[in-house]
Structure 1
Amino acid sequence: MDTLKSTSAGMVFGAALTLSRVYVPTVIINQLRLRDFHMLEVFLTASASSALIMLGFEKFGIAKRSVRTNSSLGWFSYYDGNIIGGSLLGVGMGLTGACPGTVLPQLAQGIESAPWTTLGAVLGGAMYAKFGKSLVFSSHSSKDEDPIDLNNHTISSKFNASPSATFLTFEGLVITTTALSALLLPGKTFAILPTVVGGLLIGAAQVASITLTSSPLGVSNAYQQLGSYLCRAIGFEDVPRPPFPPKSILFALGILIGSAVSGPLLPKLANAGVVPISNIQAMIGGFILVLGARIAGGCTSGHGISGLSAMSFSSLITTAAMFGAGIVTQLILK
């Protein structure tokens, strides 16, 4: 039953990513080049709708918000893992035109760079499975922590604001930014559905994920689980075996299936290869992408959508580092 639930939740997310076309490498790269704001609008709408969903579920006693704690390397800050991991994730996004979640629809839709990005991502997961736990002091969801401790990790606690004021401010900023972007900023080259509709579809995937798996959206752990199997296969028996059934892998499998099923509903992409990505660039980028996501304790969907929606301060830092590093990476590559 858990197998079916995890796969089904992934299918909904995979279909949402595909129908919103936020997975297209050109969309992601042109967002980082500040030329196309399709991704931003989908991302913000998904975050805003997910925040409403999480608030509603918490108010009705269905599920608690999964506030994410800090990720610390013990180098220079309580949040240095979020800063460094988020930055690596952004560099990987800039190199590959993918996120840990969107590379799976890229595979299903036959994007040429996707197999190499996936290979690099699994190797990055293996690297973290072998060495990451000794590097990172804290990198996990705090949904099972004592509520008092959980509250210390929220945006409202860091800014000494009430949770309701923080929530309303977040929703207001998202709505205003999305509206201004839609009216004033360029892009949406590959959009079939309005970007707000695409974001709401991802919000629906959030409902499916929390309802079916009791966890919010997040993908990067699947690569760590795959990496654990790889490490054990080549003789590293000290790497823990993933729990059975491996829910994160099943969720990722569902994303592939959902994308494969929903893809034929859309017209074929035109000029999908506008931004060329070499195989070696894709593989290196995939490695950096997932290694960074695991160091930060979450990926674009885990921190950027689910974490921000739960008002996690660590997710705010990670997301800022991720997009900042991705923009800088594309400026350098140009």
Structure 2
Amino acid sequence: METALTGAAFGAALTAAGVYQPAVIVSQLRLENWHMIQAFLTAAAGSAIVVTAANVLGYVRLPPRSFSSLNLFARFDGNVIGGILLGTGMTLSGACPGTVLAQVALGIESGYYALAGAVVGGIVWTGLVLQPNLLPTPSSSLSKPQTRLSMYEQLGVSRGTMLVAFEAICASVVAATIYLTPPSTAKGGVHPVIGGLLIAGAQLLSILMRKSLMGTSTSYEEFGDWFWGLFSRGKMIGLPQRYNNMVFCSSMVGGAWLLSRFAPSLVAEIAPLRIEPLAAGVGGCLMIIGSRLAGGCTSGHGISGISLLSTSSVLTIGVAFAWGAVVGLLMG
């Protein structure tokens, strides 16, 4: 029940924030509109305060995220390569592993293709990459204990100092983009800052009810596990035991739909943007493979990981947005 309620809250928050729309995502990556960044940074900053308070009070013990390493060229190579694939997939599909669920709930056509591609990505990842070991297994628990996983450890400052600096950076970027860019003319919805605070509120609910942070890309890996558990060379094999993440993401669809049904004034009108089915499907597949390679997506790394001040999360999301912008500008 806790998982379902938290998922519904997250889905509703993403919908109210308006960051689920393909036009908002693509225009952000093309550096044409800053709605997504305003909501994203507000959500990350709010979540950082919530997570820090929960850790300090002893309610939870949530350590920074480890690096994802393929041992190809650096201990963070999985974060870099995964971020590149994630950014490419986001630009092609106009979706993220979490926002695509809200797109489906609101009947956005490209979202169906992106979700289908994401499901295929989960199946490919679990059955054709991990099981045959085609790539060195990305690991967040390498043979040697990892130290200095957080930004404050990397910089040699206290956690409190890093938190204050992070909050100041987020506030400055949000304020600057609000001042320098024209406001949205879409009807309905909430201001992106309010939307970001709603997402941070869903994070608070997740900590209080589940003592864990939000994330979505693991659900696609879970689905892949179930797929290969049911069908392997035409024979039934043992079924996996985990399914909580799939429950979380299914509830996100429900939460987004309920908000659009019973509080339509909180949902902005959908901006028109035509995304070809093939691009949406390929993008959906790439963003899941990239997310799993990096050990998290725009919610797991972007909202939750960054709120832990994790260096790997900042690196993954930084690469994803930067590379996505390159792809977006080339496509535009």
Distance 2:259 2:275 in 1: 25
Distance 2:239 2:208 in 1: 26
Alignment of 1:280-319 (within 5 A): 280-319=278-317
Q: Is the 8 A contact 1:42 1:195 kept in 2?
A: yes
- 1:272 — aligned with what? 271
- Pick aligned residue for 1:23 from 15, 20, 23: 20
- 1:161 — aligned with what? 157
1:51, distance to aligned residue in structure 2 (A): 0.3
1:231, distance to aligned residue in structure 2 (A): 2.1
Change (3 A) 1:63 1:150: farther
- Pick aligned residue for 1:68 from 65, 69, 72: 65
Gaps of 5+ in 1: none
Is the aligned partner of 1:99 residue 2:93? no
1:14, distance to aligned residue in structure 2 (A): 0.5
Residue identity over aligned pairs, in percent, reads: 37
Q: Is the 8 A contact 1:71 1:136 kept in 2?
A: no
- 2:168 — aligned with what? 172
Given residue 318 of structure 2, which amino acid in structure 1 is its aligned partner? Answer: A
- 2:49 — aligned with what? 52
Distance 2:185 2:318 in 1: 25
Given residue 177 of structure 2, which amino acid in structure 1 is its aligned partner? Answer: S
Q: TM-score, normalised by structure 2?
A: 0.92
Give the SS at the match of 2:220: helix
Distance 1:60 1:48 in 2: 18
Q: Is the 8 A contact 1:218 1:302 kept in 2?
A: yes
1:333, distance to aligned residue in structure 2 (A): 1.1
- 2:36 — aligned with what? 39
1:132, distance to aligned residue in structure 2 (A): 3.0
- 1:197 — aligned with what? 194
- 1:188 — aligned with what? 184
Q: TM-score, normalised by structure 1?
A: 0.91
Distance 2:298 2:139 in 1: 15
1:242, distance to aligned residue in structure 2 (A): 3.4
- 1:258 — aligned with what? 255
1:101, distance to aligned residue in structure 2 (A): 0.3
Given residue 167 of structure 2, which amino acid in structure 1 is its aligned partner? Answer: E
Q: Is the 8 A contact 1:11 1:255 kept in 2?
A: yes
Q: CA RMSD in A?
A: 2.1
1:188, distance to aligned residue in structure 2 (A): 3.1
1:215, distance to aligned residue in structure 2 (A): 1.6
Given residue 155 of structure 1, which amino acid in structure 2 is its aligned partner? Answer: M
Given residue 299 of structure 1, which amino acid in structure 2 is its aligned partner? Answer: C
Distance 1:150 1:247 in 2: 28
Change (3 A) 1:294 1:332: same
Distance 2:29 2:183 in 1: 12
Alignment of 1:117-132 (within 5 A): 117-130=114-127, 131-132=129-130
- Pick aligned residue for 1:329 from 315, 327, 330: 327
Give the SS at the match of 1:300: coil
- Listed one character per residue, the Cα deviations across residues 126-172 of structure 1 (whole Å, up to 9, x for unaligned) are 111122363354444x8xx9xxx676211111122222211111011
Q: Is the 8 A contact 1:36 1:189 kept in 2?
A: no
- Pick aligned residue for 2:244 from 243, 247, 256: 247
Given residue 325 of structure 1, which amino acid in structure 2 is its aligned partner? Answer: W
- Listed one character per residue, the Cα deviations across residues 11-63 of structure 1 (whole Å, up to 9, x for unaligned) are 00011001111101100001111111110000000000000000110111111
- Pick aligned residue for 1:10 from 7, 10, 14: 7
Change (3 A) 1:28 1:125: same
Given residue 298 of structure 2, which amino acid in structure 1 is its aligned partner? Answer: T
1:64, distance to aligned residue in structure 2 (A): 1.7
- 1:88 — aligned with what? 85
- Size of the alignment, in residue pairs? 323
Distance 1:70 1:214 in 2: 22
Distance 2:239 2:59 in 1: 31
1:186, distance to aligned residue in structure 2 (A): 3.6
Distance 2:237 2:25 in 1: 34
Change (3 A) 1:314 1:204: same
Distance 1:180 1:43 in 2: 14
Change (3 A) 1:187 1:295: farther
Distance 1:151 1:207 in 2: 27
